[in-house]
Structure formats: structure tokens, C-alpha cells
Amino acid sequence: MQKISFNNGWELDQGGNSLMARLSGGAAPNKPVQLPHDAMIHETPVPEADSGAQTGFYPGGEYTYIKNFAVPAEWAGKEIVLAFGGVYQTARVYINGDFAAVNLYGYGGFTARIDKYLNFGADNEVRVIANNPTPNSRWYSGSGIYRGVDLLIGGDVMIEKDGVRVTTKEADPALSIVEVETRVRNRTHGLHAMTLRTTITDVQTGAKAAEDTVVFSIYAEETEVLRQNIAVPDAKLWDCEHPNLYDVKVELCEGEEKADEACVRTGIRVLALDGVRGLRLNGVPVKQRGTCIHHDNGIIGAATFAAAEEKRAREMKEAGFNAIRSAHHPMSEEMLSACDKYGLLVMDELSDMWYEQKNRNDFSTYFDQCWEEEAEKIVAKDYNHPCVILYSSGNEILDLGRKTGGRLNRRICNKFHELDNTRFTTTAVNGLIAASVGGVMPMIIGDILQQRGIDPSVLMGGGGTETAESGVGAANMLMGLMNDDDFCAHPLMTKALEEAAQASDIAGFNYLTGRHVMEGKLHPNKPILGTETYPDDIVRLWRIVEENAHVLGDYTWTGYDYLGEAGCGIFYYDGTVNFSSHFPDRLAYIGDINLIGYRRPISYLREIVFGLRKEPYIGVIRMDRYGQQGSKTAWMFKDNVSSWTWNGFEGKQTEVDIYSPDEEVELFLNGKSLGRKACGRASGFTATYEVTYEPGELIAVGYHDGAETGRYVLKTAGEEVILSAAADRTEIAADSQDLAFVTVRLTDAAGTENLWAKKKVKVTVEGPGVLQGYGSGEPQPTGSYDDTEWETYDGEVMAAIRSTEEPGTITVRFAAEGCEDAVVEITAQ
């Protein structure tokens, strides 16, 4: 089918969608918008928002999108379809006032067949009503048409949407075999003699790798499936280190006339799995160095742009991850393509709930009528992406505490296998939830507390009366127990997990690292995966991964900070407790990488644990927080940064960590040794020093067998503060769909970063570009990402610049009091 971008020329009806508003023409003029468009990010967070901290206090709402478009007369008789990447939460589509389609799952793409409602040779109107009745999500969801829209046009004989599937039959660099399956439909009442030409091209070099032609006849109103087994000599296989890609172009011809064409990008690779050798990619064992991520793109909200997804994928790969779990919903097509490009494995997840709800307006209302169709959509979307290795049937599903949940899990996993037998299934099972719903949690907790001489009444505030603070404390205690070996290995826990975990190919456990080794003995044929784990447990759990072939890897919560679930990782020093729905918390603040791309010290520790970084790294407890009693949850690491600029704290103490793979490290302050200490695996890859601050130079040195292996240097920034701006890309497409991210850092004249200084930085954009979003990594902001002035956080702010359809030079200027302006130029072409 011919594909035309349908993202420009929309308006947001601000008059509302009530009957009176429609009869009166609305209370306000329509606002021009371009898709993708997240309406939620432009709302104002308020303490009384129905979803509270779940969505970062952003409210939901109903949003009506309108687009007027001309339909040529020659399109009459063609099949015309609107393809939506995602509309949150539910969507109704109308063409010229007539109802055309409905979609009930906000993370599932969908199509609307519209040709029967169109006026050919005239103007037409499409109206999309996106309804987001909160609360319905445990994280920031976004609202509206947050992913792109395409217009698809099919002729008499056409290749169906998602009608080309490429399967690797043999992955051999000398000679690989791929099967190209193409679905062709004849919409006419006559017989057609057709030719299908398939060409496989190396994306990197542009060279033709293979081709094949098949001749066939297709009868009236029938669908034919053509399969071509094509040999690819000197094949470049796809894996995490070498993400080689091929374009598979299929041309459908009748005589010399081209009737249709389709092109898919894919990779040549095969998967194998067992409980003895683990997961193998092209015959080579691979461990999943994974992270869970939500779908928002920080300062631009849930709006899905290819450039934004690529930025996150690239930064996660650079931080040492090789796998991503889409939590807890199907991944966008744009992120899948980014993972293909950078060599990131993907676990794509169906849903966060089944029949039992977690919020009163969530997807559980529609799950029964939708889940099979949504599974079909996921497979159709994912099939040609080499990055996808796993389908997850769900996350922390309440139903899994019941036998009916085990039955449903088998059905979902079997459905995935029916649709795609080349990949594997898992389920992210939470032991606390499964045991609680199953009714055995009180007995498990009672046993553990009794063994440790703890009065169970502490879970009720000590006197049996629960307060808000004691309730949160109890919750934290329970979550801490989840990673406790006695809790994980309790016989009643084994019973609670048995049916739920055995339904899928891989037993996926959230926060149950203590079960991973014993599961290999209980079920030697069942591989294990840490589908969600605590970030600071990486040292212990990764050793378990390395030493046990049946343990496939780990997915930390989480690799990248995100909007919503606000406050679960914020360090409070005023008595506030985490998970207490504390306004104006907006971010979770538990990512290895913060909201705008700054790698926090735990990211470098993780990279060292993975064996990917040989040089040491330094983390310094924030000196304005050292010695203070802060809040703590199982998802929090340390309130530290990599900086030695602390004006006003001369002579004061702080804690300095060196992270290193070496067995010995040494810390120097202004040339003076502060002593050598043990480090490496035996010491958790960490050596800790108490250091009295004095400006200058802090150096960490690693030693192996007494010889220096590497060093890391922090310098105190000079007094002058300079705005230093750099774009991740200086050339973007002039198509209104491309982005460049410009980061401003506070430095001194020598380029030394100053994370301690603060500046209010104003941004202006000139030329054929617009400001898509602007902000910092501050977890408790009061401003909007639509604002043009933000204060730096840890010395940084970032602007997202969106192209228009005009080519030219985009000039982005940053200004702050006492600083020279910083200017970045971006070419749109």
C-alpha cells in the first residue's frame, strides 16, 4: 500500500466535545498542532490530579483532533486506511461526521478503513476523539495522538499492510537463507497475472545482496501468500556488537506496470534457548544486560519521534546495556527501529493488567475483548525487527495469584507462539503480589519475622494502628523482603509461583534474585530471567547471572529516568517518605541516566560490573546533604554525583566512592595520597573514603598486580561560569518530524563542568524550527516543559528543537545572567 505521512495540518478543538459545545461551535478557536502530539505534557500538574504521583500529578482529559484534507477524484475505488501508531487512552475516529473506528488500548496501534466515508474530488474532515479518564495508569501515560499517523492507499492488487514477513532460516556468514513471505490481495472481480520481485540490499553499503522473482496468478477477491527462500552469500549477521541490517524490497508488477511495493528493514539472525546453555544468538551465548523503560521521552512527554527514541537507545547502549524491556506495554515502532540500529535486544510486553484492575479506569475493563487482537498487533509490528527476542505476557499481574491466572497465561503465551514460533515468551511475575493474592503472604512474612525475632506488629506501626508513615514504612519493609533469600526461597512462595512461572518459555521474576539458583535445581529445563530488579543489587545479581547458564540476564529498574511514579527515588531530607504522593514531585528519579541524558554514578558502577569499563570512576555524596538523614527505598542507590566543585564547603567532610574492576585503588587529593584500598569484585567494585573538601584535583587510580591500569580525574571548576551548548545532531530533516537535542552545560573557561552552580537559562529559536520542549533533570520542578526559561539542575538544561517543512538554518540561543550567550546552529534540509 502507498504510504503518506498524515501528521501535519491538525487542529486541537479547545471547545470541548460536549453536546452543547458541538452545537455552539465550541468555546475557543482551534489550536494548530502537528503529530505526534502529547496533550498531557502541555497540561499543568496539580495536587488534586486524579492519578496523583502516578502521572507526576498531570491530569487527564478528553481531546478532539481535527484535520481537513483533500481527496483526489482518482482515489475513488481504492482502499484507503488511516494507520495510527498510538492514541491514549481510547480513540474514536469519525470521517465527515460518520463513525469509522474505535480503539480501546492506548498502546496498541490500529487502523481505520475510511474510503466508504470519503467525498472524492473534495475536501474531507477526520475527527479523532482521544479520551483519557484518569486514573488508569501507574506511570505517566500521555494523552492524545502521541504517535504518528499514516494514510495508506491500496490499488486493485495490493500488498497488505504488514504483509511482508522475513524469517531467517539459516544464519551462516558464508551463506544464509531467509524466507520472505508476502501477502497479496486481489480486490477486483477479475483474474490477474502478477510478478513479485524481491531485492535484498545491505543498508550500510547500499550493495545488492540477493534477489528473487516469482510469477503467480491471483483470482478474483482472493489473497495469495508467496514464499521465497532466498540465499544471501557473504551475509552480515545481526547481533548486539554488529547490528547489520538489510532492506528487503518487494515489488508487485502486472506486466511492466508496478502495482504496489513494500520495503522492510530487518536483520539476519537466529535464536536458540534451553535451560542448559541459556540464550544463544547465532549460536553464541548472550547474557541480557537489561533495563526496563517506560515510553515517555522526558521533556517532550510521550510524543514519539524517531530522533527521541534513537537518543535514548543510543545513550543506553553507550552506558553498557544490551537489552530493553518495554515496561509495561507494546514498544513503539520507532524505538524498535532504534534498537535494531544500535544492537539492543527487546522484550516487548503486552500489558500491566489482565482482568483485575490496578486503577479504576485501566485496561482491565477491555482486556477480555482485546487481548488476542493486541497480541496479533504486537507480532505484526515486531516480526521483522531482529532486536525483538521475547514477548512478555504481562507485568506483576494480579490474576497470577489465582489458578485462572495460570490458565490465562498459558493461553496468552500459546497465542504468541501461534503467531510467531521464532521467538520466546516470558511473564514478569512478582512474588509479593502472587503470594498476597494467593493468601499465603501473611504466613511467609510471619515465618521470616519469627525467625529473626521481629514482632509482626511493626508492619502496623508498632501498635496495630496504621498511619500514613507506618504504612509506607511497612510497604518499604515488604519490598525489601522481596529480595531477601529467605522470602524468595520460602516453600509457600515456591507454591505460589509454580503455575504462573511455568506457563512461559522463560520464568521471569521481578525482585526475586534469591530464587534464581534454586530454580535451576527445581526446574533444570526452565531458563530464568530477572525481569525487574533493584538497581543497587547489580553486584550480587550479576555474579549469579555470570555463574549460572540457566540465568539469562537482568533488567534493572531502571536505566533511564521518567515522568510519573513520582518520588519513588527522590532523596527527601525533610521527613517526607517515598511513595507518599508528594506534590510537586514529577519524576521517578531512579534512572541510571537522568531525564535529559546525564549518567549518574551508578551507571558507571553497572558498566564496571558488566566488565565493560576498565577505568575507575568517582562518585561524591552531595556535600550539602552529607551527614543528613535522608529517605531510602529499595530502588535508590546513593545521592552522589561525579563532581569536585563545592563552593562554600571548604574544610567540610564528604564521602567519596571509587568504582573499579581492579583489586586495589588509590585516591589522591591535590597530589597527596589518601591511601590505597581494596576494590574489585571482592569489595563490590567499590572503595569508600571519607574526604575533607579542598578545591583542586581529585584522582582515582586503579592497580592490578601492583601496576597502574587507569585513572579518573575530577577538577574543581573555576569561578567564571560559562554556558557551553552542544547539539546531538547538527543536521536534521526538514519534514516537521525530526528533532535535535541541545544540551547546555555550565563550565569554566577550561571546560570543566560545574554541577554546583545554578543559572536560569533562557532559550530562543530562530529560523525554520520550533521549541518542542525545554527543561532539566530536576525531579521536583514547578515549571512547564513549554517554558522558555529553566534553571539548571546538576549544571544542565536541554532543549528539543523540532524541524518544520522549510529548509534552512535554525539558530538556537541560550542566555543567562552574567554569562555570554551560547549559540548552536542546526541545518534543516
pLDDT per residue over 492-501, tens digit each? Answer: 999 999 998 8
Name the β-bridge partners of 826. 810
Residues 12, 16, 17, 22, CA torsion sign: negative
pLDDT-based confidence at 474, cuts 50/70/90? Answer: low
- Give the number of residues written for the chain: 829
Question: Mean pLDDT across the stretch 742-756?
Answer: 98
Span 680-710, pLDDT tens digits:
999 999 999 999 999 999 999 999 999 999 9
Q: Three cell numbers at 554?
A: 537482568
pLDDT of residue 476: 55
What CA–CA distance (Å, rounded) separates 798 from 739?
Answer: 12
pLDDT value of position 486? 87
**Higher per-residue pLDDT: 484 or 382:** 382
Confidence of residue 469 (pLDDT cuts 50, 70, 90): very low
**Residue 484: pLDDT band with limits 50, 70, 90:** confident
Q: What is the pLDDT of residue 448?
A: 86
Please report which confidence band the pLDDT of residue 102 belongs to, taking 50, 70 and 90 as the band edges: very high
Alpha-helical segments (H) within 489-587: 491-502, 516-522, 538-547
pLDDT reading at 25 higher than 60 = no
pLDDT at 721 over 50: yes
- With a cut of 50, say whether residue 520 has pLDDT above it: yes
Q: What is the mean pLDDT of residues 720-742?
A: 98
Amino acid at 771: L
3-state SS track over 704-729: ECCEEEEEEEEECCCCCCEEEEEECC
Residue 185 pLDDT greater than 80, yes or no: yes
Preceding omega of 584 cis (within 30 degrees of 0): yes
Judge contact between 308 and 728, C-beta under 8 A: no
- pLDDT for position 485: 85
pLDDT at 86 over 80: yes
| Per-residue pLDDT tens digits for 390-414 | 999 999 999 999 999 999 999 999 9
- Asked whether residue 343 carries a pLDDT value surpassing 80, the answer given is yes
The whole-number pLDDT of residue 450 equals: 84
pLDDT computed for residue 68 by the predictor: 97
| pLDDT score for 466 | 42
Mean pLDDT for 228-255 is 98
Angle between helices 538-547 and 601-609 (to 10 degrees): 20
pLDDT above 90 covers what percent of the chain?
90
If we measure between CA atoms, which residue out of 760, 820, 769 comes closest to residue 790?
A: 760
User: For the chain, how far is it from start to end, CA to CA, in angstroms?
Assistant: 27
Q: Is the pLDDT of residue 18 over 80?
A: no
Q: What is the C-alpha to C-alpha distance for residues 502 and 496, in angstroms, rounded to an integer?
A: 11
Range scoring the smallest mean pLDDT among 140-144, 290-294, 396-400, 577-581:
577-581
Work out the pLDDT band at 464, boundaries 50, 70, 90: very low
Residue 17, pLDDT score: 56
At residue 206, the pLDDT reads 97
Query: Binning pLDDT at 50, 70 and 90, where does residue 114 land?
Result: very high
Would you say residue 27 has pLDDT above 60?
no
Residue 569 has pLDDT above 60, yes or no: yes
Contact 556, 588 (CB under 8 A): no
Neighbour-count burial of 221, counting CB atoms closer than 10 A to its CB (0-12 exposed, 13-18 middle, 19+ buried):
exposed
CA distance 775 to 696: 31
Q: What is the pLDDT of residue 28?
A: 65
Residue 148 grid cell: 504518528
Is the per-residue pLDDT at 580 higher than 90? no
Nine cell digits for residue 520: 535451576
Binning pLDDT at 50, 70 and 90, where does residue 4 land?
A: very high
Q: Which residues contact 103 (CB under 8 A, 6 or more apart)?
A: 84, 87, 90, 91, 110
With a cut of 70, say whether residue 12 has pLDDT above it.
Answer: yes
pLDDT at 471: 47
pLDDT at residue 465 in the model = 44
Nine cell digits for residue 790: 529553566
Q: Give me 414's grid cell.
A: 500459546
pTM: 0.95
CA atoms within 13 A on the CB side of 163: 23
Unique residue bearing C-alpha cell 512547564: 784
pLDDT at residue 597 tops 80: yes
**pLDDT for the residue 419:** 98
pLDDT in tens, 612-658: 999 999 999 999 999 999 999 889 999 999 999 999 999 999 999 99
pLDDT in tens, 405-457: 999 999 999 999 999 999 999 999 999 999 999 999 889 988 888 887 877 66
Task: Please give the biggest Cα pair distance in the chain.
Answer: 89
Grid-cell match 531467517, residue found: 168
* pLDDT exceeds 90 at position 16: no
The 8-class DSSP code of residue 17 comes to: S
Mean pLDDT for 343-363 is 97
Q: How far is CA 165 from CA 228, 237, 246, 354, 420, in A?
A: 11, 18, 13, 29, 11
Integer Cα distance of 88 and 363 in angstroms: 11
Q: Can you point out the beta strands (E) in 275-351?
A: 278-281, 284-285, 288-293, 323-326, 345-349
**Beta pairing, strands 31-33 & 175-186:** unpaired
Residues 417 and 503 sit within 8 Å (Cβ to Cβ): no
